[in-house]
Structure 1
Amino acid sequence: MKTLRSAIAGALSEAKAYEVAEECIRYGLELAGESEDPWSGKSRYVEKKLNGLTLDELISLGHKVHEDYPSDELEHLLTLVGAGGVAGELKNLIFAADGPKPRIVLRDAVNNDIQIVEHADRCLVYDRALPPEGLTWRALVAWWAKTEKVPDDAEPEVARDLYRRLKLSMGDNAAEKLIFDSYCALYRTHGFDLPALIPQVYLHYDPYSKREGSPLVRQRMDFLLLLPNRRRVVIELDGKQHYSDARGPRPDLYASMVAEDRRLRLDGYEVYRFGGQEFVDRRKAEGVLSGFFHELLKLPTLPN
């Protein structure tokens, strides 16, 4: 933690001495005491203000500072302490297709830029930078308001419209809809600043190994949560098609599924799977889902 504090202080010391105090205030750090003076040492001045911050607070602050004052050292340390998260910036978040699957090609292999060449009108593309706090429902609603060119001051109405659009992507899959509805109920009780549960997400693997214009290797996730500090959670619902077909058990299908799980985990994703059998009893499934989401997000239990 001491090294991370030093890296944050070093990055902030790139500001002019007369700007450092105001920058500290902007980042929510306490006001300077009379004996503290950034002119006598900018890094030391900032580092004193970082004493007492928890690791999570330092990580969150570090990401914000790095956006304003890019630092190779700070970026490296944030990657190390966020080893449970995913390295690299969010790009190409394509989700919620409500019809034919989008056909995606790699337009620029150097910059990992993609292009949807078929059925672009049937899916959604989130095109904003991911902030340190992850992608919240409030942020996704604000993006939807801008995308649909509707006033963002009518947040509840915009949220309901986005909810309906996302639910369309699940078709007639009752179990997926139950997962989605169980999570969305948390927005009412815990607010719109919870991470957004994003359905039907297309994930791209190894884009640099593909020549420009070639189809991307991809996997569709049932649900994705983009949490603070680059923590990314995949939620999958496994029906019989994941391990069998009309002829009976298919060990090759199961082997392929667990191989992809390993790959995702090695890339820093957390993967949680639900079995279709868990949804036979709807009331019991609702209890399982509520308990899972509360524990995953460390949410307090509210009184009835």
Structure 2
Amino acid sequence: MMTFPKQGAATAGRITEVTRRRLREGLCRLCGPVPAGRMEFLEPQHTFWSGALPETDFLARLYDLDELPSRDPRFTTAFQDIVQHRVANDDDEEDWVFHDSRFGLVDNDEALLRFLAEMLHPAVRTDPGEVERLHTFLNSVLVHDGYELVQVDAVSGAPIFDYHQIGSGVPGAMRNLIFAAVGPKPEIVLDDAVNNDLRIIRNQQNCLVYDRPLAAHGLTWTELTAWWSDRQGLAGRPQREVWRSLYQRLDQSLGDNNAERRVLRTYAERYGRLGPGIAALIPQVYLHYDPYTAGQRRAPGPLSRQRMDFLLLLPHRARVVIECDGKQHYADPDGRADPRRYAAMVADDRDLRLKGYEVYRFGGAELTDDHAAQHLLNAFFDRLDQRYHQ
């Protein structure tokens, strides 16, 4: 529980006072009948910010009301203050929370966006029509400052929303995470083309398939190791034994590539130092898939690169690709510079970025010395953490 919303990627003041005022005016209770042409969800019973919950119950989902101070000198906590002035006396305005600096809705973008997303939560509102209308209204206002509320999960068939910066992150839900491939590539068929359900019919032992929903915060090492423990029947075993088992399997997928191994090892040390709640670094992830092998095609296929070296799945649908470039990325098998090969690589990068992925490349020469590579990689991961505020 946070006493104040975590400072994150949405705290830079992109949301203007004009947008905040439009939100307040649209969400406040209206007096009298709804004016002609005004959308029906602006009726009081539809738009009160706490929905079906008492105000204290709604706010307690986002803040620790016993830690926040009271504005009334007779009380010590925000909870006591709110009960006195919104329940016992009812002498505050209906939209008081939007003006109260304790909750950050006046000047903290992330606080406001999390608050608005929580207004759409199924624990707060159960009427699908109301949620849809309110969602439409909120996005129609937020879009002017580059944000939108998007569905990231569901509970009992009802959507759960989070905020998303328009033009950032990868749209759509993750459906298939196939990674850590060793040996011959898996043979994949569309088991249900309508739902994009895949099934591996051969060589399934050569790869891992994460088959759980992706949470709004991305995929953490804690979640990946929990999945691995269930998959391998390691429940009840010491946590570090489970971690070591998964790490060894991930390391196996790197073959004899020492540069990639340095990346994986350096990042794995962060799990011990920063805790397993940080994003998991996933190696050898299938991004594209060509059902034919190079030998079967006897010619270059339509997909020049099928796997990513590493992938991080971060909050708000951010996906970070990390590539370690050996000379095969820019030279032919004889070691001569190959402009066409290099052009194909940068074209792939452009395509990935346009889809919303972030791509970071390391030259092989940067990762040859253990000590220097560790220093370089730690500095990079620290800056990456600052950028995405994990």
Same-fold call, TM cutoff 0.5 = yes
| CA displacement at 1:25 relative to structure 2 | 1.8
The within-5 A match list for 1:131-170 is 131-151=215-235, 154-170=238-254
TM-score computed with the length of structure 1 as normaliser: 0.80
Structure 2 equivalent of residue 116 of structure 1: 200
Q: Is the 8 A contact 2:49 2:119 kept in 1?
A: no
Over 3 Å counting, the alpha-carbon distance change for 1:100 and 1:52 in structure 2 is: farther
The amino acid of 1:51's aligned partner reads L
Q: Is the 8 A contact 1:5 1:58 kept in 2?
A: no
* 1:207-246, Cα deviation, whole Å (9 max, x unpaired): xxxxxxxxx9672100001111111100001111111123
- In 2, Cα distance between equivalents of 1:90 and 1:135: 11
Over 3 Å counting, the alpha-carbon distance change for 1:14 and 1:195 in structure 2 is: same
* 1:30-64, Cα deviation, whole Å (9 max, x unpaired): 46513236x99xx9477565625733445556666
* Equivalences, count: 288
Structure 1 equivalent of residue 52 of structure 2: 17
Of structures 1 and 2, the one scoring higher in RCO (CA 8 A, sep 6+) is 1
Q: Is the 8 A contact 2:284 2:307 kept in 1?
A: yes
Over 3 Å counting, the alpha-carbon distance change for 1:85 and 1:118 in structure 2 is: same
Moved more, 286-295 or 244-253: 244-253
The within-5 A match list for 1:1-304 is 1=15, 2=19, 17-18=52-53, 21-28=56-63, 30=65, 33=82, 34-36=84-86, 44=95, 51-52=105-106, 54-59=108-113, 68=122, 71=132, 72-73=135-136, 77-78=148-149, 81-151=165-235, 154-204=238-288, 219-247=306-334, 248-298=336-386
- Residue 245 of structure 1 aligns to a residue whose secondary structure is coil
Moved more, 71-80 or 193-202: 71-80
Q: Greater helix percent: which structure?
A: 1
- Residue 282 of structure 2 aligns to a residue whose secondary structure is strand
Q: Is the 8 A contact 1:29 1:50 kept in 2?
A: no
- In 2, Cα distance between equivalents of 1:265 and 1:250: 23
Structure 2 equivalent of residue 212 of structure 1: none
| CA displacement at 1:18 relative to structure 2 | 4.3
Moved more, 126-135 or 223-232: 126-135
- In 2, Cα distance between equivalents of 1:107 and 1:167: 30
| CA displacement at 1:109 relative to structure 2 | 3.3
Structure 2: any 5+ residue segments left out of the alignment?
Answer: 1-14, 29-40, 66-77, 126-130, 140-146, 151-163, 290-301
The amino acid of 2:350's aligned partner reads R
Q: Is the 8 A contact 2:98 2:106 kept in 1?
A: no
TM-score computed with the length of structure 2 as normaliser: 0.64
Q: Is the 8 A contact 2:177 2:286 kept in 1?
A: yes
| CA displacement at 1:163 relative to structure 2 | 0.9
- Residue 85 of structure 2 aligns to a residue whose secondary structure is coil
- Residue 249 of structure 1 aligns to a residue whose secondary structure is coil
Structure 1: any 5+ residue segments left out of the alignment?
Answer: 206-215, 300-304
* 1:251-293, Cα deviation, whole Å (9 max, x unpaired): 1111111111001101111100011111232221111111111
Moved more, 289-298 or 72-81: 72-81
Q: Is the 8 A contact 2:217 2:314 kept in 1?
A: yes
